[in-house]
Amino acid sequence: MVGMFERGDGDLGIGNLFISALGGRNKHQHYTAPFGQENTCFMIKKGTSTPRWQSLALPFRKDTWIAVLVMALLLGPIFFALSRPHVTGRYEKLNYQSMAFVSLYTFGVHLKVAQTQIPVSLSLQIFVAFLWVYVIIVLEAYSAKLVSFLTVERIPEGINTIEELYQSSLSVYGNTIYYQESLELAQNVHARKLADHYYTIKDFDVAYKNIMNGQGAYMASSNNLIYMMSLYSKNGIPTMRLLKECFQADNTAVGVQSHSPLKRNLDQAVNWVREAGLPYQWRRETLMILRQERRANASNDAMDAPEPEPEPESEGENRVSFSLEHLQGVFIMYGVGCGLSLIVFVSELPIYY
């Protein structure tokens, strides 16, 4: 296309054309005002989703589960010890129960099951009151996260940065030498090293086969990659994903001949198009048309399957498991409740002895 401008064979070049001086292209053509900005990103094979049965443990992280388990194991003995000194002086139904019963009592509270035997002593009442508040908050937090992990597919973390991509030794594919030249001039040292692993492949079907075999990653503009993800999805589920870290941002424009008399009017028209938000709307319409065509050619089962629009971050990384940092407030609150209960418990001892 740049050569056609230089020879005067073309007036306009419309496409995913980056405003750049790489390859000396600005010596043979000019650009109109930019109509958008594109991030150059990397696309790799989508990893295997986490088995659904593991979703039951995903709402909490390992340290949170350990903390909850320790609390559950300690509650029974603490409850049992607080009820022992009250055998005389005040009738406490829980006095005569075994350790097994008290453990089941606290386990029932963890399931939010109302207990018929209510503590009488003030220290035990404070302990049970804070126990219920703790249990309600923890269970509600678990239930809310569980709905998300049960209904949305979760992909384990994989390659997400340029450094990780370089360390993986995967090849990098693209449809033009422009991306290799961009990598060679990058400030990121790992991006520059990726230039040695770059291969130009014009046929995306060949690149797609290599990507799905786990041999490489594909490099292109983000919108182009999103389009390819939608085009090569299966039953509405993308088979590829984008890395979180992109390479660089470039302005996109319409190409014209050097010193073209059309440039002034074209700049004004392109600015109108950009200000009206039409490039974004046209991308959405393109994906909608693509889905309609794929549904029309698919089988009846495939037509009924939902086909969400792929996004650069389509793995559900925002569904973060609760850590101790998230729930530290409830543990601190319950620690305060246990301390208050112990103070009252100590103050009650002289009454009965």
pLDDT digits (tens, 9 = 90+) for 258-282: 888 999 999 999 999 999 989 888 8
Torsion of CA 248, 252, 256, 260, to 10 degrees: -100
Is residue 78 one of the residues assigned to a domain? Answer: yes
Average of pLDDT values for 229-249? 85
Residue 162 has what pLDDT?
A: 93
Is residue 297 one of the residues assigned to a domain? Answer: no
**Residues 211-224, buried b or exposed e (16+ Cβ, 10 A)?**
beeeebbbbbbbbb
* pLDDT tier for residue 153 given thresholds of 50, 70 and 90: low
Q: How far apart are CA 242 and CA 70, in angstroms?
A: 40
Is residue 73 one of the residues assigned to a domain? Answer: yes
Mean confidence (pLDDT) of the chain? 80
Which residue, 49, 47, 44, is CA-closest to 208?
44
Q: How far apart are CA 347 and CA 321, in angstroms?
A: 41
DSSP H or E stretch at residue 151: helix 122-151
Q: Any idea what DSSP says for residue 29?
A: E
- Please tell me whether residue 28 adopts helix, strand or coil conformation: coil
pLDDT over threshold 90, residue 337: no
Query: Do residues 173 and 43 touch, judged by C-beta distance below 8 A?
Result: no
How many domains does the chain contain in total? 1
Is residue 313 one of the residues assigned to a domain? Answer: no
pLDDT in tens, 13-43: 887 788 888 877 888 889 999 988 888 999 9
Q: Which residues pair with 53 in a beta bridge?
A: none
pLDDT over threshold 80, residue 330: no
Based on the number of CB atoms within 10 Å of its own CB, is 309 exposed (0-12), middle (13-18) or buried (19 or more)?
middle
Is residue 71 one of the residues assigned to a domain? Answer: yes
DSSP H or E stretch at residue 257: strand 255-257
The residue range of the domain holding 81 is 54-134+321-352
Residue with tokens 């010193």: 259
Is residue 299 one of the residues assigned to a domain? Answer: no
pLDDT in tens, 78-135: 877 777 654 434 555 665 567 777 777 787 887 777 777 777 778 778 888 888 888 8
* pLDDT tier for residue 310 given thresholds of 50, 70 and 90: very low
Is residue 160 one of the residues assigned to a domain? Answer: no
Residue 270 has what pLDDT?
A: 92
Is residue 117 one of the residues assigned to a domain? Answer: yes
